[in-house]
């Protein structure tokens, strides 16, 4: 045990003290904040090249014209269709919208330009034309569109979770976001740090350093020390990323939204400012949704499944690293290992999030090879304690089993050089007696 602890310390501190580790630990949160600020700034600024669309309306239905938007501006054209086409040919920035006279009976609206119009421009035009056509059709039928819009119901569902302590707010959107985020983090970590274990073993094997190390420790002790040490490095880095990202995003959000609110207040009449302050905007809705998540419950379980999934898959990656002499030879063994992860990742987005209590979701969250991702997607929606306990126990059991299997391959493969290894050969190594 002491030898395993020494190997853990060596792997952990040798990697944590590297400049690359420190740089990436602090650089990634800043990149996230920078991307967050850039997206916000660009969304507030809008496009810098707004197309000007000339509208030729031969139908006479759209006399009101089209309202200028952030995505496009509109102007009624006095040109004929042929003259407008010639203008487009001469000017690459020109856009002409032609509405035929028979539009009410099935005519086709056409957009003429040298370059393709953006999706937002097309969507803006279609929405406005459909709204105006709807108003006309309702008027022809003797129905007032304004009255119809006023009586249109706007119902919404407020989710309430019943517990022994009473009622509390819940949010399916927040649950889905947390589940996706946790699943993505675990999915990335299993690949990033699992491959680090594999490459570390390959490097020691090809440099023949492992021959010196093996003289002092058993192969199993060396493998376990590397797996646990690198796993602790990954956990440390993820916790620092999460802490720094939350802190920086909180500060950035306060600065950005404070400045935006002051701008809105300065442009808003005084009698409307109080109502704006008291109203719930999208930002407040997001904050309320985040507050419904039980973070003290989710975070410890996230760490358990992060470590459990990492240990399970890292043992397999370690076995692969011991069986090959270079990264290029790992491809034939990587696919069977990564398929369960890839399948669960895809199913999380397409099925589990929509049916968290289905039989398939249950089994994916129980099987050790798929549970780290599937269970984290299900967890925010509410999972019975017995299912959670069973999943954790089976994950630990799966880790012990894969470690045992990997160690039997590792003890032979770590000292094997210059030989192309197949799955049949791995089976022979597994069956060798101690």
Mean pLDDT of 353-364: 86
Q: Which two tokens stand for residue 151?
A: 């009586």
Please report the pLDDT score of residue 24 as a whole number. Answer: 82
CATH of 52-144, one of 2.140.10.10, 2.40.40.20, 3.30.2290.10, 3.40.190.10: 3.40.190.10
Mean pLDDT of the chain: 76
Work out the pLDDT band at 250, boundaries 50, 70, 90: confident
- Residue range 87-105, pLDDT digits in tens: 888 887 788 888 888 887 7
Residue 334 half-sphere exposure toward CB, CA atoms < 13 A = 13
Give the distance, in angstroms, between the CA of residue 313 and the centroid of all CA atoms in the same chain: 21
Please report the pLDDT score of residue 282 as a whole number. Answer: 46
What does the domain layout of the chain look like in residue ranges?
52-144, 190-245+289-431
Check residue 292 and report its DSSP letter: T
- Residue range 11-29, pLDDT digits in tens: 888 888 888 888 888 887 7
Name the more confident of 212 and 304.
Answer: 304
**54 with 97: CB under 8 angstroms?**
yes
What's the rounded Cα separation, in Å, for the pair 355 and 376? 14
Rounded to 5°, angle at Cα 224 from 221 and 228: 140
Per DSSP, helices labelled H in 46-170 are 81-90, 119-140, 145-150
Taking the CA atoms of 36, 295, 157 and 387 in sequence, report the sign of the dihedral they define: positive
- Residue range 376-424, pLDDT digits in tens: 888 877 788 899 999 999 999 988 888 888 878 777 777 777 667 767 7
Name the more confident of 54 and 179.
Answer: 54
**125 with 53: CB under 8 angstroms?**
yes
- Residue range 318-348, pLDDT digits in tens: 888 877 777 677 777 788 888 888 888 888 8
Give the distance, in angstroms, between the CA of residue 151 and the centroid of all CA atoms in the same chain: 39
**% residues pLDDT > 90 (the chain):** 4
Please report the pLDDT score of residue 277 as a whole number. Answer: 44
Question: Among residues 312, 296, 304, which one has the least CA distance to residue 235?
Answer: 304
**% residues pLDDT > 70 (the chain):** 79
Check residue 327 and report its DSSP letter: G
What's the rounded Cα separation, in Å, for the pair 89 and 282? 44
Contacts of 363 (CB under 8 A, 6+ apart): none
To the nearest 10 degrees (0 to 180), the angle between helices 19-45 and 219-267 is 30
Contacts of 276 (CB under 8 A, 6+ apart): 264, 265, 268
DSSP states of 203-233: HHHHTTHHHHHHTTS-HHHHHHHHHHHHHHH
What's the rounded Cα separation, in Å, for the pair 133 and 423? 67
Tell me the residue length of the chain.
434
Please report the pLDDT score of residue 391 as a whole number. Answer: 93
DSSP strand pairing (52-57 vs 73-76): parallel
- Whether 126 has a pLDDT exceeding 50, the answer reads yes
Name the more confident of 373 and 283.
Answer: 373
What's the rounded Cα separation, in Å, for the pair 175 and 377? 8
DSSP strand pairing (160-163 vs 110-113): unpaired
Name the more confident of 250 and 173.
Answer: 250
Contacts of 236 (CB under 8 A, 6+ apart): 16
Work out the pLDDT band at 47, boundaries 50, 70, 90: low
What's the rounded Cα separation, in Å, for the pair 324 and 319? 9
Of the listed ranges 155-159, 227-231, 279-283, the least confidently predicted one is 279-283
**Per-residue exposure over 243-253, b if at least 16 CB sit within 10 Å of its own CB, e if not:** ebbeebeeebb
Please report the pLDDT score of residue 275 as a whole number. Answer: 46
What's the rounded Cα separation, in Å, for the pair 34 and 27? 10
**77 with 56: CB under 8 angstroms?**
yes
Rg over alpha carbons for the chain, rounded to the nearest Å, is 31
What's the rounded Cα separation, in Å, for the pair 367 and 365? 6
Question: Among residues 78, 85, 82, 71, which one has the least CA distance to residue 55?
Answer: 78
Backbone angles phi, psi at 326, to 5 degrees: -155, 165
Please report the pLDDT score of residue 390 as a whole number. Answer: 94
Per DSSP, helices labelled H in 141-218 are 145-150, 172-206, 209-214
**121 with 78: CB under 8 angstroms?**
no
Rounded to 5°, angle at Cα 140 from 138 and 141: 65
Contacts of 135 (CB under 8 A, 6+ apart): 145
């Amino acid at each position: 045990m002491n030898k395993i602890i020494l190997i853990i310390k060596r792997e952990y501190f040798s990697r944590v003290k590297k400049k690359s580790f420190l740089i990436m630990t602090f650089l990634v949160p800043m990149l996230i904040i920078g991307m967050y600020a850039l997206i916000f700034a660009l969304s507030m600024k809008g496009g810098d090249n707004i197309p000007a669309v000339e509208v030729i309306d031969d139908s006479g239905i759209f006399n009101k014209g089209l309202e200028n938007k952030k995505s496009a501006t509109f102007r009624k054209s006095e040109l004929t269709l042929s003259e407008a086409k010639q203008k487009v040919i001469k000017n690459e920035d020109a856009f002409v919208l032609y509405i035929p006279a028979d539009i009410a009976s099935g005519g086709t609206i056409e957009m003429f330009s040298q370059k393709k119009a953006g999706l937002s421009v097309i969507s803006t035009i279609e929405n406005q034309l459909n709204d105006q056509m709807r108003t006309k059709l309702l008027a022809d039928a003797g129905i007032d569109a304004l009255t119809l819009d006023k009586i249109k119901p706007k119902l919404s569902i407020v989710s309430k979770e019943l517990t022994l302590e009473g009622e509390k707010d819940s949010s399916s959107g927040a649950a889905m976001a947390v589940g996706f985020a946790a699943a993505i983090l675990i999915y990335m970590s299993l690949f990033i740090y699992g491959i680090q274990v594999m490459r570390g073993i390959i490097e020691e094997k090809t440099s023949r350093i492992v021959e010196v190390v093996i003289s002092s420790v058993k192969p199993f002790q060396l493998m376990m020390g590397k797996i646990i040490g690198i796993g602790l490095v990954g956990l440390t880095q993820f916790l620092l990323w999460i802490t720094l990202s939350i802190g920086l995003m909180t500060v950035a959000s306060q600065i950005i939204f404070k400045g935006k609110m002051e701008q809105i207040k300065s442009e808003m009449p005084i009698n409307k400012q109080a109502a704006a302050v008291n109203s719930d905007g999208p930002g407040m809705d997001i904050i309320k949704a985040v507050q419904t998540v039980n973070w003290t419950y989710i975070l410890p379980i996230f760490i358990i499944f992060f470590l459990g999934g990492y240990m399970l898959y890292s043992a397999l990656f370690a076995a692969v690293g011991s069986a090959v002499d270079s990264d290029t030879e790992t491809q034939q063994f990587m696919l069977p290992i990564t398929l369960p992860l890839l399948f669960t990742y895809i199913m999380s987005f397409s099925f589990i999030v929509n049916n968290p209590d289905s039989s398939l979701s249950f089994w994916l969250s129980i099987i050790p090879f798929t549970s780290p991702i599937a269970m984290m997607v299900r967890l925010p929606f509410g999972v019975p304690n017995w299912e959670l306990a069973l999943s954790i126990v089976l994950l630990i059991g799966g880790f012990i089993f894969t470690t045992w299997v990997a160690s039997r391959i590792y003890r032979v493969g770590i000292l094997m050089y210059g030989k192309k290894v197949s799955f049949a050969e791995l089976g022979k190594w597994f069956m060798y007696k101690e």
